[in-house]
Amino acid sequence: MNRYTQSIVITDPQVLSLVNKRLEQIKKSTRRKVTPEEIINKHIVKHLKAALIDPGNIYEAHRKELFKALWVMEPHICIYCGIGLSLQSATIDHRIPLSREGRPAMLDNLGLACHDCNGEKDCLTEWEYRVVKLLIHT
């Protein structure tokens, strides 16, 4: 039985297009049937859990603004490997990961990183990852 008793009606065309885009991505990557309601419920539950854990977490709500601020403030290079970044290749990285008590939306804990470094870094701090990179590449 479904634990969600109220139905949500989405009329915003931008939200509808995002849900449809996500549905298409899931269809391409898996054979499992997924409904728009599942995607929306998963998204809502995820953000509700984040809000319960840390009500002051504004990171998700202001990700675009944080990215713009970092883009203006910092040089357009990866903080780990030094490769030049474009708007498409840049990602926001937490210097101290959230899983290790890092502050989510504080600019001093955020930096611009390339996709590769951001993915490799995982749950390491900035300095731990720098040591790992030095050991791997020497």
pLDDT in tens, 55-78: 555 566 567 777 888 888 888 999
Overall average pLDDT of the 72-96 stretch: 89
The residue written with tokens 């890092």 in the block is 102
96, 125 in Cβ contact below 8 A? yes
- Distance CA(111)–CA(93), nearest Å, equals 5
- The residue ranking higher by pLDDT, 86 or 51, is 86
74, 103 in Cβ contact below 8 A? no
Average pLDDT, the chain: 77
- Residue ranges per domain, the chain? 13-53, 63-136
Strand ranges for the chain from DSSP E: 90-94, 110-114
Mention every residue, 6+ apart, whose C-beta is less than 8 A from residue 116.
81
Highest-pLDDT range among 12-16, 110-114, 131-135: 110-114
pLDDT in tens, 106-119: 778 888 999 999 98
CATH 3.40.190.10, applies to 63-136: no
Q: Is 20 helix (H, G, I), strand (E, B) or coil?
A: helix
- Cβ neighbours around 94 below 10 Å, total: 23
Q: What percent of the chain has pLDDT over 70?
A: 75
Q: How confident is the model at residue 47 (pLDDT cuts 50, 70, 90)?
A: low
pTM for this prediction: 0.54
